[in-house]
Amino acid sequence: MTQQKDKVWFITGASRGFGRVWTEAALARGDKVAATARKQESIADLKDKYGEQVLVLTLDVTNPDQVKEAVTTAHAHFGRLDIVLNNAGYSLVGTIEEASAADVRALYETNVLGPVAVIQAALPLLREQGYGHILGTSSNLGHVTMPVIGYYCSSKWAFEAIHESLAAEVAPFGIQVTIIEPGAYATEFGSQESLKFAQGMDEYTDFKTKFFADTLKAVERGDPAATPQALFKMVDAAQPPLRFNLGSHNLSDTRAAYAERLAVWEAWDEVSKTAQGGAK
């Protein structure tokens, strides 16, 4: 990747949460940012503060035509895009039985197909440049799961697989890919604007009440303001990682989850091998 003294970012979901924190931090360090949000007025103040350093654009990632227009406009405006950061997303709250097909489709439109649209719009431009760094905000829930937000977890598992395949496909063009995996943070992600709720069923009321009161309430949340310097160390590295944890609990949680999976696979390995059949 060609290292630029000041980087040009394209960031989705820049109005709140990590998107807002990272947008402001990038601008504060002298980078340029094409900041996008569904409602442009939610990021208009960035223009007042940072002037020509920032380009504010309206973008709903579920609208492919708008995605292509925004990416093309940003590239033309700044002359290049060094970092394309897919950050827009939300969580669907509901058990697997409760969520409707429409609920799940809407979640995937934003969390999976939206980022894909951004990537597909950006890749021809990044290939022509001969460099670029695609970042995607996933979660530690891209490796582990929780009940009640299972569909959100599944969207992040899909997100992880897409980006891992992408990394191999675009490496020959000088394009790098990093999946950002935050743990729990005290952002607006838990706000009503970032959550959608499936229609509840009485059968799960007690289970969900206990889950929210015991499990979620006990989760230690990090400080979003502590994340930018770690993020910048990663994007400024000559060889950034494919996966990048944010927070101090992710690795231990992921290690435990994979240890349990390996133990089960190994316990059943002899039975599994019998399904191979004879060599052909």
Q: Which residues are catalytic?
A: 138, 152, 156
Question: For the chain, give me the number of helices (H) and strands (E)?
Answer: 10, 9
Of residues 70, 87, 89, the one with CA closest to residue 149: 89
Q: How far apart are CA 150 and CA 93, in angstroms?
A: 8
In angstroms and rounded to an integer, the radius of gyration of the C-alpha atoms of the chain is 20
14 Cα distance to chain centroid? 12
Q: Quick one: residue 249, left, alpha or beta (phi over 0 = left, psi -120 to 50 = alpha)? A: alpha
Nearest to 6 by CA among 31, 27, 35: 31
> How many CB atoms are closer than 10 A to CB 259?
9
Taken in order 200, 205, 211, 217, the sign of the CA dihedral is: positive
Rounded Cα distance between 257 and 276, Å, is: 27
